[in-house]
Amino acid sequence: MKYSPRENLLNIWRRKGFEYIPAQFDLCPSQEEKFKSLHGKNTSYRKFFEFPWENIRYSFLRQTFEGGMQFYPGQSFNPGTSIDRWGIAHEPAPGSMHMTRMYHPMEKFSSLEEFQRYPYPEFDDSLRDQVKKQVEDIHSRGLIASAMMACSIWETAWYMRSMEEMMIGMMTDDPLTIYHLDRITELACKSAEAYAACGVDHIHLGDDIGMQHAIMFSVDDYRRFFKERLKSIITAAKAANPDIIVSYHSCGYISPFIPDLIEAGIDVLNPIQPECMSFEEIHSEYGSVLSFWGTIGTQTTFPFGSPEDVRKTTLRNLEIAGKKGGLLCTPTHLVEPEVPWDNIEAYIKALKDFSGIN
């Protein structure tokens, strides 16, 4: 190959052509166990299928509290419940597989003092050397160094406060809501700048701002509460590294938001959920200024289609993108337990056939 996996994917996302189209997906735990039963318990599926990037394992955000049960007085949780660095509790339930129920530590907050006292994470600048070393190691293996920063603003905000309280706060221009959004955005800006300054090639941002057939809030409200905050995160990253690729994730129907996302500075949109939007239409309108990642439906084609359906969809979407690239063609979300392994193999084979790889 003329290009490393890193160079090849950067060319795809910059719409400069490609040598081949790489694979990429995330397996749920039961699917990962299936893979290991086929290929060995110590085998990494990411390495086996030669994914083009590796994620940075460090977060610049340091947890500032111990335990976390103090946020849920009187609450009991199922065994296995975890509390993350934001104080959000994730409770498993029988039969829920890898899914958890979230609990919101700020749901009953009613004063600015409560928000100000709350132990938000702190930015930890001391990790820069460790991140730089990992970036150098990833680059030495010809891979893209990626920083995962999804749940960038909106999702973290409502996971902490609850969606109902956040929506009410937006409708009433509640200053507590503004304070909360600003605290989260400030931390994201610092993290994005630090990752970019450490040489990361790709930052993945995102918030689910769409539903199955409608946007989650009006375009005007998106512009009032989120567009400039997202732009400030991207600006911080690109000020440190103008060549960095910024991808943005939102499930669902988000067509009305795409012009604002482009103006905010994203380079790649993920996942273009086909049950909600037409990739062909989105590409026709924005493919000259925006690249894409996803497009194979994990609500429909991947779990319930035949291997031939998966193959045809993969090849069709790559043909829409064309010779210049602009599409990392992948499943649109986690590969869930319902997906037949034959469909995963059909996807891999379609990529190789499109790329002319035996």
Q: Is the pLDDT of residue 183 over 80?
A: yes
117-176 confidence digits (pLDDT tens): 999 999 999 999 999 999 999 999 999 999 999 999 999 999 999 999 999 999 999 999
Eight-state DSSP code of residue 98? T
Buried b (16+ CB within 10 A) or exposed e, 221-234: ebeebbbebbbbbb
Phi/psi of residue 237, each to 5°? -65, -45
pLDDT at 357: 85
166-177 confidence digits (pLDDT tens): 999 999 999 999
User: How confident is residue 96, by pLDDT bands cut at 50, 70 and 90?
Assistant: confident
Q: Which of 311, 254, 241 is nearest to 286 (CA)?
A: 254
Q: Is the pLDDT of residue 358 over 90?
A: no
Q: Is the pLDDT of residue 211 over 90?
A: yes
pLDDT at 93: 87
326-339 confidence digits (pLDDT tens): 999 999 999 999 99
Average pLDDT over residues 42-47: 97
pLDDT at 332: 98
User: How confident is residue 22, by pLDDT bands cut at 50, 70 and 90?
Assistant: very high
Domains of the chain plus CATH, in order, are 5-74+124-355 (3.20.20.210)
Average pLDDT over residues 248-276: 98
* Burial class (CB within 10 angstroms; exposed 0-12, middle 13-18, buried 19+) of 40: exposed
pLDDT at 224: 98
- Return mean pLDDT, the chain: 97
Q: Is the pLDDT of residue 185 over 90?
A: yes
pLDDT at 17: 97
Q: Is the pLDDT of residue 235 over 80?
A: yes
User: How confident is residue 1, by pLDDT bands cut at 50, 70 and 90?
Assistant: confident
Q: Which of 217, 116, 212 is nearest to 168 (CA)?
A: 217
pLDDT at 98: 87
pLDDT at 150: 96
Average pLDDT over residues 332-352: 97
Q: Is the pLDDT of residue 78 over 90?
A: yes
Give the integer Cα–Cα distance in Å for 199 and 231.
20
Average pLDDT over residues 199-228: 98
Other Cβ atoms within 10 Å of 127 Cβ, number: 18
Q: Is the pLDDT of residue 340 over 90?
A: yes
pLDDT at 203: 98
pLDDT at 95: 83
pLDDT at 49: 97
Give the 3-state secondary structure percentages of the chain, helix then strand then coil, rounded to 5: 45, 15, 40
Give the integer Cα–Cα distance in Å for 146 and 6.
11
pLDDT at 195: 98
pLDDT at 189: 98
pLDDT at 97: 85
Average pLDDT over residues 197-210: 98
